[in-house]
C-alpha cells in the first residue's frame, strides 16, 4: 500500500503534479486498452460511482417522498441521512416559505378571473331552464322506443327457442327412426320375427330354435361366413346401444316399449355367438362327429378355425361379454379334461396312455434325458421366488423336445415326473394347456390389446356387464387356474396339503410351485399372471398350504436333535474328520441345525422369515451353552497385578508403566499343571469352535442366505433391522467371548513360562560355588529354552499336535506378544530382586572388611568382581536368547519397551560402585 507523502517545499515540484499527471495518463491508457480488448467497463464505472460523494439535492416538488400519496417520515429521513437535523429543519422551513410565496403568487395571478366568475354567471339559470323543457319529451320518446324494441326482441327469442325445440324433437325423432330401423334390421339378420309378422301369421311364424337356425345356416354359409355375419350383427347392435343411450337422456315411451325387443336381440345374439363359438371350439379340439368318431383337423382347417375363433372373441370383446366367452371355453375345452385328469385316485392310479398327447413328432429313438427340475434330490441351493415373465426365456431346463433334425414347437416347461405321480399329473395339465388353450389365450390377449378394452374401465366405456370384474379376457385366471385350482383343492386337497408328513409336504409344495411357474410361463402377458395371482381361487389355494404347521414340525425335528447334543455341558475335544472344521460335536450339531434349516430338503421360500428367526435363535442358544460349559474364568493379569500390589503395599514397583502379574514364589505342583492343561484344552476348543462357526456361518450367508432371503423391506426383522445386521449382531455375541478366552490362555501360558524363570534365582550362587573356574560363560542358561515351551506345545510348534493348532495362523502372534510382555515384566522383577540381593551382600561384606587386616584382602575383592562379571555376562546371554526365542514366534522384540528395559538392566552392573 502506497504511503501519502507531504509536499516538500524545497523541491521544484512541491505538489508532485508531474507524478499525478503520469498516473492519470497510465489509468486512461489502461481504460482504452480494456475497451479495445472488448472488456466491459461497467464494473469500473460502477466502482467509480460507488466511490463518489453523495450529491446534495434540494427539496422540490419533484421529490418522490413529498409527492407520494402517503408521506413516509422514515423513508424521507433516510433519504436525507447525510443532513443533520438542525440543517434539515432549516431546509424544511425554507421550502415551506417558498411554497407559501408560490401560493400567494398563484392567487394574485388568478384573482381577477376568480372575482369576475360570479358576474359572468348572471342570467345562465334562465337559459338552463329553457334547455330542460324538451329533455322530458325526449326521455319519454326514448323509453317508448326501448319498450317497443324489447317486445320485438322477446318475440324473436321465443320463435328461435321454438325452432330449437322443434329441431331437437326432429333430431330425436330421427334418432328413434334409426333405433327402429336398427331393431328391425337386427331382427331380420338374426331371423327373429317382428311383432307385425307375429300379428299377421301367429300360427305359422314361430321362433326357430337356435340349433335349427344354425343347421339351416350351415347349409347356406360356411362357418367363417357365419362368424363374419355375427360380427356384423354385433357391430349393428353396438350402434343400437349407442343410439339407445343417447335416447335415454329424457323419458321416451318408444324406448320403453322397444326395450324387450332389444333384450331379445341381445339374448339371441349371445346365444348364436355362444353356439358358434362352442361349435368352433369343438371342431378345433377334435370333437366327435359323424357317428361319434373323432375327426382329424388338418392344418388348413385349423387355421380357418382359429380365424373364426378370433372373430368370435372380437365379437365378445365388442359386446363386453368376456365372461360368457370364458364360460364357453371352460365348458367346451377344460371341464371334461379336468374331470378325467384330476380325481381322488389320480395320484395312485397307473399311468394311462390316454393322457392328452403331445403335438410334437415322436422320433424312432428315445430322446436323451435332460437334467430333472424337481427331482427327489433337489440342488443344494433351493429355488427362490421369481416372476415368470422377467424374460421370455424358458427358466426350466427339462422341456419337451423332438429329434434334433425335426422342427420343434414352442412347448410347455415340463416337470420331472420320475417317481412323482403329482408331477406327472401336472405335466398332463401343462401339455393340455399348451396344446389346446395357449393359442386361444394369445388370440384373446391380442384382441384385448388391439381394442383397448382394458382401458375402458377407467373411462366408463364398458358396454357389457363384467360382474364386478375387470374388463377384458382373463382366460388363464378365470378358466384355466380357476378350474385346475378348484379341482386340486376339492379332489386332491387331502393328499397335496397334508402337512403331517413334512417330507412329502415339502415335495408337493415344491412341485406345485414349479407347476404354477410353468403355468405362468404359458400365460400370454404379465397382466395375465397378475390377474391369476389376484384371483380368489389362487388366494384360497395358497391358504390351503399349512406352512406354519410344517414349520413347527421342522422346528421340533431340528430342535430335538440339537438339544440332544447340547445336553452335555462340557467342552470335550474330538479330532475326528467328520466334525471338521469343528472340534466338538455340539458346535457341529449347531451348524448342522442352521444348515438344515436352509437345506433344499427343508426350506420353503414362504417361510424364510421364520427360518431366519430360527437361525438367530440357534446361534443364541449356542452362546448360552458356551456360557454354561466354560470353566470359571480367572481375573485378567492387570486386575491380578493390582490386587497383588495392594497386598504388598506397593513396595515393589515395576520399572515399566505396565502392571505385572503376581510373582510366584515356588514352582507349580503337578496337580496345578494338569489343571492348567485341562483349562487350555477347553479354552482352545471354545475359541476354535467359535472361529469356525463364524467362518462357516458367514460363508453360508454369502453363498446361500443372502440370495434366499427376500428384500429388507419385506423381511420381518427385529424393529426394522436388516438381516445382515442381525446376523452380525448374533455372530458378535459369540466372538465377544474370544478376547476373554484368549486372555485366559495368555494368563496360563505366561504362568507356565514364569515357572521356568524361577531357575534364574540360582545363577549367583551357582557362579560363586564355581569361583575357582576362570572361564567366562558363553551359552545361555538351560531354563531359557523352557520359557516358551508350553506356548510352542499349545500351538503345535515342533510337536505333532496341540490344543491351539487350528489357531496358529490367527492367534499365534498376538498370544505370543502378550505372553512375552508378561514374562518380560516378570524377568525384570526377578532381575531387580537379584540386584537388590547382591547389593545387600556387598554391603554386608563391606562391613566385615574392617575386622580384617589390610594385607591379603585384595585377592578376595578381585574374586568378587570376577564373579559379578560372570553373572552379568550370563544374564546378557540369557536375555539375548530370550529375545531370539520370542522373535521365532513372530514377536517384534525391538519395539517392546519392557524388553529394552530388560536389556539395559541385564547389561548394567549388579551392584552400585559407590
Is the link from the previous residue into 527 a cis peptide, with omega within 30 of 0? no
Would you place residue 271 in the very low, low, confident or very high pLDDT band (cuts 50, 70, 90)? confident
Q: Which of 152-156, 552-556, 817-821 has the lowest mean pLDDT?
A: 817-821
pLDDT of residue 396: 41
Q: How many helices (H) and strands (E) does the chain have?
A: 36, 2
The CB density around residue 111, as the number of other CB atoms within 10 Å, is 10
Q: How far is CA 874 from CA 4, 311, 846, in A?
A: 84, 111, 25
Mean pLDDT for the chain?
A: 76
Name the residue among 294, 295, 328 with its Cα closest to residue 312. Answer: 328
What confidence tens digit (pLDDT) does each residue in 384-431 have?
A: 443 333 333 333 433 433 333 333 334 457 888 788 888 889 999 999
Range with top average pLDDT, 21-30, 176-185, 519-528, 715-724:
519-528
Compute the Cα dihedral for 314, 320, 325, 326 and give only its sign: positive
pLDDT of residue 1: 44
C-alpha grid cell, residue 329: 371355453
Residue-by-residue DSSP string for 18-73: HHHHHHHHHHHHHHHHHHHTT---HHHHHHHHHHSPPP-----TT-HHHHSSS--H
pLDDT of residue 485: 92
Distance CA 232, CA 290 (A): 31
Query: 413 pairs with which residues across the strands?
Result: 399
What confidence tens digit (pLDDT) does each residue in 150-186 have?
A: 999 999 999 999 999 898 888 888 888 888 887 887 7
Would you place residue 516 in the very low, low, confident or very high pLDDT band (cuts 50, 70, 90)? very high
Which element (helix H / strand E) includes 293?
A: strand 293-294
Residue-by-residue DSSP string for 312-337: HHHHHHHHT-HHHHHHHHIIIIIHHH
Residue-by-residue DSSP string for 505-543: HHHHHHHHHHHHHHHHHTSSSHHHHHHHHHSHHHHHHHH
- CB within 8 A of 41, min separation 6: which ones? 31, 34, 35
Instruction: Tell whether the model's pLDDT for residue 361 goes beyond 70.
Output: no
Compute the Cα dihedral for 393, 398, 400, 406 and give only its sign: positive
Burial class (CB within 10 angstroms; exposed 0-12, middle 13-18, buried 19+) of 159? exposed
C-alpha grid cell, residue 487: 379341482
> Residue 776: CA atoms inside 13 Å, Cβ hemisphere, count?
11
Q: Contact, 432 vs 443, CB < 8 A?
A: no
Residue-by-residue DSSP string for 138-153: HHHHHHHHHHHHHHHH
The CB density around residue 570, as the number of other CB atoms within 10 Å, is 11
Sequence-ordered alpha helix ranges (H) in 584-650: 585-597, 608-629, 637-648
Q: Which of 147-161, 254-268, 580-594 has the lowest mean pLDDT?
A: 254-268
Query: 289 pairs with which residues across the strands?
Result: 293
Q: Contact, 234 vs 272, CB < 8 A?
A: no
Distance CA 858, CA 838 (A): 19
Q: What is the dihedral of CA 563, 569, 571, 575, to 10 degrees?
A: -40
Q: Which of 285-294, 567-576, 873-882 has the lowest mean pLDDT?
A: 285-294
What is the mean pLDDT of the segment spanning 642-646? 47
Which element (helix H / strand E) includes 126?
A: helix 124-189
Would you place residue 486 in the very low, low, confident or very high pLDDT band (cuts 50, 70, 90)? very high
What confidence tens digit (pLDDT) does each residue in 746-805 have?
A: 888 888 888 877 877 777 776 666 655 657 777 888 888 888 888 888 888 877 777 878
- CB within 8 A of 793, min separation 6: which ones? 799, 802
Distance CA 90, CA 94 (A): 6
Give the pairing type, strands 288-289 and 293-294.
Answer: antiparallel
Distance CA 76, CA 65 (A): 6
Which phi and psi angles does 520 have, rounded to 5°?
Answer: -65, -30
pLDDT of residue 639: 45
Name the residue among 688, 893, 693 with its Cα closest to residue 811. Answer: 688
The total number of residues shown for the chain amounts to 914
Question: What is the CA angle 435-437-442, rounded to 5?
Answer: 110
Name the residue among 390, 378, 353, 392 with its Cα closest to residue 511. Answer: 378
Distance CA 269, CA 190 (A): 7
Distance CA 411, CA 434 (A): 6
Instruction: Tell whether the model's pLDDT for residue 591 goes beyond 90.
Output: yes
What is the mean pLDDT of the segment spanning 709-735? 74
Distance CA 316, CA 161 (A): 44
pLDDT of residue 66: 83
Q: What is the dihedral of CA 511, 516, 521, 522, to 10 degrees?
A: 110
3-state SS assignment for residue 617: helix
Distance CA 845, CA 853 (A): 14
C-alpha grid cell, residue 736: 465377544
pLDDT of residue 410: 42
Strands (DSSP E) found in 624-775: none
Q: How far is CA 129 from the centre of its chain?
A: 95
Range with top average pLDDT, 314-323, 481-490, 794-803:
481-490
What confidence tens digit (pLDDT) does each residue in 824-860 have?
A: 888 888 888 887 877 777 777 776 655 554 444 555 5
The CB density around residue 184, as the number of other CB atoms within 10 Å, is 14
Instruction: Tell whether the model's pLDDT for residue 509 goes beyond 50.
Output: yes
> Residue 914: CA atoms inside 13 Å, Cβ hemisphere, count?
1
Q: How far is CA 201 from the centre of its chain?
A: 76
Would you place residue 315 in the very low, low, confident or very high pLDDT band (cuts 50, 70, 90)? confident
What confidence tens digit (pLDDT) does each residue in 204-248 have?
A: 434 444 444 445 444 334 556 787 888 788 788 888 888 788 777
What is the mean pLDDT of the segment spanning 303-326? 86
Would you place residue 379 in the very low, low, confident or very high pLDDT band (cuts 50, 70, 90)? very low
The CB density around residue 116, as the number of other CB atoms within 10 Å, is 10
Burial class (CB within 10 angstroms; exposed 0-12, middle 13-18, buried 19+) of 636? middle
Instruction: Tell whether the model's pLDDT for residue 33 goes beyond 80.
Output: no
Amino acid at each position: 500500500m502506497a504511503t501519502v507523502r507531504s509536499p516538500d517545499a524545497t523541491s521544484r515540484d512541491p505538489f508532485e503534479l508531474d507524478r499525478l499527471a503520469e498516473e492519470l495518463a497510465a489509468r486512461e491508457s489502461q481504460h482504452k486498452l480494456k475497451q479495445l480488448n472488448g472488456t466491459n467497463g461497467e464494473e469500473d464505472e460502477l466502482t467509480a460511482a460507488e466511490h463518489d460523494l453523495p450529491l446534495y439535492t434540494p427539496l422540490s416538488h419533484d421529490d418522490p417522498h413529498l409527492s407520494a400519496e402517503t408521506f413516509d417520515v422514515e423513508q424521507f429521513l433516510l433519504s436525507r441521512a447525510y443532513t443533520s437535523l438542525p440543517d434539515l429543519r432549516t431546509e424544511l422551513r425554507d421550502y415551506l416559505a417558498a411554497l407559501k410565496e408560490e401560493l400567494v403568487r398563484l392567487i394574485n395571478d388568478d384573482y381577477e378571473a376568480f372575482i369576475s366568475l360570479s358576474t359572468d354567471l348572471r342570467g345562465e339559470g334562465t337559459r338552463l331552464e329553457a334547455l330542460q323543457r324538451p329533455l322530458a319529451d325526449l326521455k319519454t320518446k326514448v323509453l317508448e322506443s326501448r319498450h317497443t324494441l324489447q317486445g320485438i326482441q322477446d318475440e324473436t327469442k321465443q320463435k328461435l327457442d321454438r325452432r330449437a325445440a322443434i329441431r331437437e324433437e326432429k333430431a330425436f325423432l330421427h334418432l328413434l327412426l334409426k333405433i327402429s330401423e336398427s331393431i328391425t334390421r337386427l331382427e331380420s339378420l338374426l331371423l327373429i320375427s317382428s311383432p307385425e309378422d307375429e300379428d299377421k301369421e301367429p300360427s305359422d311364424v314361430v321362433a326357430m330354435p337356435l340349433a335349427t337356425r344354425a343347421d339351416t345356416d350351415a347349409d347356406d354359409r360356411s362357418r367363417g361366413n357365419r362368424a363374419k355375419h355375427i360380427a356384423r350383427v354385433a357391430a349393428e347392435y353396438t350402434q343400437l346401444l349407442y343410439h339407445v343411450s343417447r335416447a335415454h337422456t329424457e323419458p321416451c315411451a318408444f324406448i320403453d316399449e322397444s326395450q324387450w325387443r332389444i333384450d331379445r336381440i341381445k339374448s339371441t345374439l349371445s346365444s348364436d355367438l355362444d353356439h358358434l363359438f362352442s361349435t368352433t371350439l369343438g371342431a378345433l379340439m377334435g370333437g366327435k362327429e359323424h357317428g361319434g368318431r373323432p375327426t382329424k383337423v388338418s392344418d388348413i382347417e385349423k387355421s380357418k378355425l382359429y380365424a373364426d375363433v378370433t372373430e368370435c372373441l372380437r365379437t365378445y370383446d365388442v359386446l363386453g361379454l368376456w365372461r360368457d366367452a370364458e364360460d364357453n371355453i371352460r365348458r367346451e375345452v377344460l371341464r371334461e379334461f379336468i374331470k378325467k385328469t384330476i380325481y381322488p385316485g389320480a395320484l395312485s392310479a397307473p399311468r394311462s396312455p390316454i393322457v392328452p398327447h403331445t403335438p410334437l413328432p415322436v422320433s424312432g429313438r428315445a430322446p436323451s434325458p435332460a437334467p430333472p427340475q424337481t427331482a427327489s434330490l433337489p440342488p443344494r441351493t433351493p429355488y427362490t421366488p421369481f416372476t415368470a415373465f422377467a424374460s421370455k426365456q424358458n427358466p426350466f431346463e427339462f422341456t419337451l423336445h423332438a429329434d434334433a433334425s425335426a422342427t420343434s414347437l414352442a412347448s410347455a416347461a415340463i416337470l420331472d415326473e420320475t417317481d412323482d405321480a403329482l408331477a406327472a399329473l401336472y405335466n398332463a395339465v401343462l401339455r393340455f394347456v399348451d396344446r389346446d388353450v395357449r393359442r386361444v389365450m394369445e388370440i384373446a390377449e391380442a384382441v384385448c390389446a388391439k381394442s383397448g378394452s382394458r382401458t375402458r374401465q377407467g373411462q366408463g366405456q364398458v358396454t357389457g356387464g363384467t360382474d364386478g370384474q375387470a374388463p377384458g379376457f382373463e382366460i388363464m385366471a378365470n378358466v384355466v387356474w380357476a378350474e385346475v385350482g378348484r379341482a386340486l383343492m376339492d379332489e386332491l386337497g387331502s393328499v397335496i396339503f397334508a402337512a403331517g408328513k413334512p417330507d412329502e409336504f415339502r415335495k408337493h409344495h415344491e412341485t406345485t410351485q414349479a407347476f404354477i411357474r410353468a403355468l405362468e410361463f404359458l400365460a400370454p402377458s404379465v397382466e395375465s399372471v397378475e390377474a391369476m395371482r389376484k384371483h380368489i381361487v389362487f388366494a384360497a389355494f395358497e391358504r390351503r398350504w399349512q406352512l406354519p404347521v410344517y414349520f413347527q414340525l421342522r422346528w421340533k425335528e431340528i430342535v430335538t436333535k440339537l438339544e440332544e447334543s447340547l445336553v452335555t455341558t462340557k467342552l470335550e475335544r474330538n479330532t475326528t474328520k467328520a466334525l471338521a472344521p469343528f472340534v466338538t460335536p455340539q458346535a457341529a450339531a449347531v451348524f448342522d441345525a442352521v444348515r438344515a434349516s436352509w437345506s433344499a430338503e427343508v426350506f420353503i421360500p414362504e417361510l424364510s422369515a421364520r427360518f431366519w428367526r430360527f437361525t438367530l435363535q440357534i446361534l443364541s442358544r449356542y452362546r448360552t451353552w458356551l456360557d454354561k460349559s466354560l470353566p470359571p474364568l480367572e481375573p485378567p493379569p492387570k486386575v491380578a497385578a493390582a490386587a497383588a500390589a495392594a497386598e504388598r503395599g506397593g513396595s515393589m514397583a515395576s520399572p515399566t508403566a505396565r502392571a505385572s502379574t503376581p510373582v510366584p514364589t515356588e514352582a507349580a505342583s503337578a496337580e496345578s499343571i494338569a489343571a492348567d492343561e485341562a483349562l487350555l484344552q477347553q479354552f482352545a476348543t471354545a475359541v476354535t469352535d467359535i472361529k469356525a462357526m463364524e467362518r462357516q456361518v458367514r460363508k453360508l450367508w454369502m453363498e446361500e442366505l443372502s440370495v434366499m432371503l427376500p428384500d429388507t423391506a419385506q423381511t420381518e426383522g427385529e424393529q426394522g433391522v436388516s438381516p445382515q445386521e442381525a446376523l452380525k449382531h448374533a455372530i458378535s455375541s459369540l466372538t465377544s467371548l474370544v478376547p476373554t478366552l484368549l486372555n485366559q490362555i495368555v494368563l496360563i501360558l505366561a504362568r507356565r513360562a514364569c515357572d521356568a524363570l524361577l531357575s534364574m534365582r540360582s545363577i549367583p550362587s551357582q557362579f560363586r560355588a564355581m569361583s575357582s573356574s576362570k572361564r567366562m560363560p558363553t551359552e545361555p542358561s538351560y531354563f531359557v529354552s523352557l520359557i516358551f515351551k508350553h506356548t510352542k506345545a499349545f500351538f503345535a510348534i515342533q510337536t505333532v499336535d496341540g490344543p491351539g493348532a487350528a489357531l496358529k495362523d490367527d492367534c499365534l502372534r498376538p498370544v505370543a506378544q502378550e505372553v512375552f510382555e508378561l514374562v518380560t515384566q516378570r524377568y525384570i522383577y526377578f532381575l531387580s530382586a537379584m540386584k537388590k540381593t547382591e547389593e545387600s551382600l556387598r554391603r554386608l561384606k563391606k562391613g566385615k572388611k574392617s575386622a580384617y587386616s589390610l594385607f591379603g584382602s585384595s585377592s578376595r575383592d578381585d574374586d568378587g568382581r570376577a564373579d559379578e562379571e560372570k553373572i552379568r555376562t550370563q544374564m546378557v546371554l540369557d536375555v539375548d536368547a530370550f529375545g531370539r526365542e520370542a522373535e521365532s514366534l513372530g514377536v517384534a522384540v525391538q519395539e517392546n519397551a519392557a524388553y529394552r528395559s530388560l536389556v539395559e538392566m541385564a547389561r548394567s552392573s549388579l551392584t552400585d560402585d559407590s
